[in-house]
Amino acid sequence: MSTPQLDSKKGNLSIVKGITTWGEVGHGYDKQSHIYFALDSYAVMDFISKDLALSMGLRQCTKAKHNHKIPELEAAGRSPISTYGVYHLQCAITDQTGRQLSFTRPVR
């Protein structure tokens, strides 16, 4: 996968396809959901739906030591996007050979 390049004439980033796969996500062993992941190794932020966060009983991270900073976000057309905080998710994806990779997003 190549690094996205800045087009100095247009001021836009080129698009690089990320990884898509099925996996497990949750915040503990009792609340796991089987969901479709679209992973981008260059992403600065990961997004989940507010409904998913509520259905899994996730709590917003308020630990000062994590120093989470949420930038102002805009949709196409410059419309502001509402955000609802940072939530830590324990994720696990499995490759074609059955090897599982577990990770936490965002990294603590």
Q: What is the pLDDT of residues 41-91, one digit of tens each?
A: 666 677 888 888 888 888 888 888 888 888 888 877 778 888 888 888 888
Query: Is residue 11 one of the residues assigned to a domain?
Result: no
| Count of structural domains within the chain | 1
Q: How far apart are CA 24 and CA 106, in angstroms?
A: 15
3-state class (DSSP) for residue 33: strand
**pTM confidence score:** 0.62
Please give the residue range of the domain that contains residue 49.
21-105
Query: Is residue 77 one of the residues assigned to a domain?
Result: yes
Query: Is residue 42 one of the residues assigned to a domain?
Result: yes
Distances (CA, A) of 40 to 19, 61, 89, 92: 6, 22, 16, 15
Work out the mean pLDDT of the chain and round it to a whole number. Answer: 77
